A and B are shown apart, each in its own frame.
Chain A
C-alpha cells in the first residue's frame, strides 16, 4: 500500500502522452476542416478530437496545469457539441480550435522544459467560449470572484482554480471568514493518531474545507525536495504560512525514511465559527491557523514571497509515513520498439531452430548417429525457451508503477470536489506487459474520477447517513490464473440507482447489475446534470468497457444502493499489438502482420502460369490434421521475374470457390513468394493473443485477434507457412499424418 513517485518521471510521461494526444487532436481537426470545406459533416473526426481533448484535460488536471485545463475544457465543450451536432462546426471556429491546440502545445512544451505554463490568452478563451451554442456551464472565471484578493502566498494563490475562487467568494459573501490552516504530518504525530485525515475531520466539523493543498519546500541543490529541510526553513516570515514556522526539531531529526519530504498541508477553510473556537481545534490537531480573508472585506494580497513552493504530488500522507525512502536505482528506460525488435529477432531464432531440428531428424533417418546432436538440440530448445521468457519478462511493469499516478489524481479530485476520500491501493506484485499498462491506465483514471465525482456523497451527507465522512476508494490488483489481471475499483459511496440511469438512458429498468452496466456504458450517457471540469460528460464508461474488450478482457460491475459500487477489469497480463492487413480467403477472414508482407500485388487469374503438378488439390472431405497442404504452385510475373504463387485457401485446406484477386508477397530468406487471397479488406492495428494451447498450436498461425465481431480471427504467419511448405519434400505428399 505504498505510493511513491518522482515528479520528474511523471512530467516526462505527461508530456509524451499529451504530445501524442495533441497530434491526434490536430489531425482530427484538420480532417474535420477538410470535410467541412466540402460541405460534409464529419462526426468521427469531431469525436476523435473531442476524446483527445477530454483526455488532455484529465491528464493536465492531474498535474494541476490549470492553464491547460481551462483551454482543453473549453475546447472539449465545443467539440462535444460538434459531435452531438453530427460533426458540424463553422469554419472560422476551426481556426480558433487549431489555435487553441497550438496554445496547449506551447504550454506542454514549457512543462517539458520544467517551466510553468503561461496563463491562456483571454482573447483565445473568449473566442473558444463564443463557439459554444449553449451558455457556459463552466465555473465562470469572470465573476466578481476572480477579482477577489486573498492574503495568501502567491504559490498558493496560483493554486486557486476559478471554481475555488467562486466558492470562496460565495462563502465570504455569506458572511463567513476564510482561514488557512497549516499542518505538518510527522511520524511522532501519527503515533498519537494525528494525521491529515484527523485534521481534516476535526476542522471539517467547524468549517467548510475549500481546498487541501499538499506543499513541499524546494531543497537547495536538488530538484525536488525529498527531505524538506531547507536552509531557509528557519528564516520564514511568520505570517506567510507554508508551515515553515511549524518545523520542529523532531522534523529536522527525522530522515526521509521516517517522514519523507518536509511535506505539509495547507487547508483553506470557510467558517462562521469564531477564530477562538477554531484555534482550539487546531491546537488539538497540531495545526496553525491564519485568516486570509474576512467576511465581505477582502484585503490586499501579501507581498510576493521569496521562493515559490513546489507541490509534491504525493497525496496520501498516511501511506507516506513509514514508507521506505528507497531510491529507484539500477533502472533503465528503454524504448518499447527496441523490446519489440528483440522479440522479433528471437522469433527468427525460433524458426531457424525448428529447421535445424528437422535437418537433424533427416540426417538421423539416413542412418547417421545423431544422438549427440539431439542432446545439444534439446539443450538449445530449453535455452531458446528461457530466452523468450526473459525477453517477455523485460516488457513487464509492476502494477504498482502503473498506479503510482493515481494518488495525484485523487488529490486533485479531492480538492476540486471537496469530498473526503481515503485511497487504499494494493497492487501486490502483479506485473503486466507495458502495452497493457499503457492501455489500462486511462480506464483506471475514468473509474477513479467517476467514483470521486459521482459515487461519493459530500462529507456532510455522508455524516447524515451515518457513514464515515471520509469515503474509502480502494484499488486492488490480483493475478488470476497465470495470465489474467483482475483490477477492482471499489467505493463506499451512494451506489448506482438503476431506475435513475434507466430513465436518463430512456430504456427499461435493467434487471441486474450486468444490465445496468450496459446502460452505463452507452455512449454519451451522463448521470449528472452539469458537466464539471473533472467528469460528468457521460464519457468514460464506454471507453472503460472498450478498453477491456480491446485488451481481450471484460468489465464487471456490482453495486448496492447506499453501500457503493465495484468495477472489475479483467484483462490478460500480456498482449502484443500488431499492425495488420485483413483479408478474405476461402470464406474466412484472416489477418497478417504488415511487417511480414513485402508487397501486395494484383492477381489476374488469366495471367497465372501453372507448371506440371503431381499434387491433388482436393481437400473438401474432412480436412486432415496436417502440415500446411501442398498446394499447386503457379507463377506470375512481377517486375520482370517469375514469382511463385500459391493459393492460400488451398494451403490452408479451405474450400476455394472464390477467385483470387490479390496476392500477399512475403520473403523467405532470399526468395519471394506470393499467397493468393480472395479479397483484401483493410489495414488495422490488432491485439494479438497467442494461441498457446497444444490443440491449436499449428504452423502458420501465430495467434488470434478480435476484429470487433466478437469472434476470433486468426493471425497468420505467412513466412512460417512458406518455410513449412518449402521444407516439405514432394515424395512425402501423399502421406499426410
Chain B
C-alpha cells in the first residue's frame, strides 16, 4: 500500500493528510470572522464560489499565532461531504507513503496531541505527523 499525502508545515512541524481527502489548496488572504464560533475557527472563506469554514491549525494545536505570510495556505479537506479548510504556515509537497513507513505515535505524543494525530510517518530523516482530520474539525 502506498498512498499520496499532502504535506504541510505548522510551527516547523510537518503534518500530512491523504491526498484523496484534500479537495484543494489555496493561498490564504484572510477569512471573514464568525462571531461566537470557537477560537480556533478563523472564520469562513469563499473558495471557488463555495463558502468553507477554516480552522487555524496553530490555534487548534494551542500554538502562538504568527503573522500570515505569502506562504500561508488553506488546505481544504473533506470529511464525508463536509469541506473544511485548514490554515497552515506553508504547504508545498506531496509524498508517497508506504505502509511500513507509518507507525502509531508514541503514547505520550498521542496524549498531548489530544487525539489530533493518527500516526507518525518516517520519511528519510524526517518525521511527519498524520492528522486525524475528523478530530481536527471537531467531529466526534
Contact = CB atoms under 8 A, between A and B. Distances in A.
Interface in B111-125: none
A548 B34 CA distance: 25
B44 interface: yes
A553 B49 contact: yes
A712 B81 contact: no
B19 to A, nearest CB: 18
Interface residues of A, number: 41
Contacts of A699: 36
A691 B51 contact: yes
A652 B34 CA distance: 9
Interface string A543-555: 0000011011110
B35 A704 contact: no
A367 interface: no
A697 to B, nearest CB: 8
B137 to A, nearest CB: 7
A706 B37 contact: no
A628 B51 CA distance: 23
Interface in A612-655: 622-628, 652-654
Interface string B24-54: 0000001011111111010111101111010
Interface in A154-181: none
B84 A711 contact: no
B12 interface: no
B36 A627 contact: yes
Contact of A712 (B32, B35, B36, B137): B32
A689 B48 CA distance: 14
Interface in A175-196: none
B132 to A, nearest CB: 16
Contacts of B55: 695
Nearest to B59: A622
A713 interface: yes
Contact of B38 (A481, A548, A625): A625
A696 B41 contact: yes
Given A694-B138, A695-B137, A570 B36 contact: no
A712 B42 CA distance: 13
Contacts of A654: 33, 35
Contact of A693 (B36, B48, B82): B82
For A654, A704, A710, the residue with the greatest tally of chain B CB atoms inside 10 Å of its CB is: A704
B35 A693 contact: no
Interface string B80-105: 01101000000000000000000000
A382 to B, nearest CB: 20
Contacts of A625: 36-39
A714 interface: yes
Contacts of A493: none
A625 B55 CA distance: 14
A588 interface: yes
A714 B33 CA distance: 9
A696 B81 CA distance: 16
A714 B32 contact: yes
B81 to A, nearest CB: 5
A570 B49 CA distance: 9
Interface string A473-485: 0000000011110
B41 A712 contact: no
A570 B45 CA distance: 18
Contacts of B46: 706, 710-712
A41 interface: no
A571 B43 CA distance: 22
Contact of A689 (B32, B43, B51): B51
B22 to A, nearest CB: 15
Interface in B39-80: 39, 41, 43-46, 48-51, 53, 55
A575 to B, nearest CB: 11
A145 interface: no
A482 B38 contact: no
A711 B52 CA distance: 11
Nearest to B38: A625
Nearest to A484: B50
15 contacts: A549-B49, A551-B49, A552-B49, A554-B49, A625-B36, A627-B36, A654-B35, A693-B84, A695-B137, A696-B44, A701-B34, A706-B46, A711-B32, A712-B32, A714-B32
| 4 interchain residue pairs of minimum CB distance | A698-B36, A652-B35, A625-B38, A695-B53
Interface of B: 30, 32-39, 41, 43-46, 48-51, 53, 55, 81-82, 84, 137-139
Given A626-B36, A628-B36, 20 more contacts: A481-B81, A548-B49, A549-B49, A552-B49, A570-B49, A588-B32, A623-B39, A625-B36, A653-B35, A654-B33, A691-B34, A691-B44, A693-B82, A693-B84, A694-B138, A698-B34, A704-B51, A711-B32, A712-B51, A714-B32
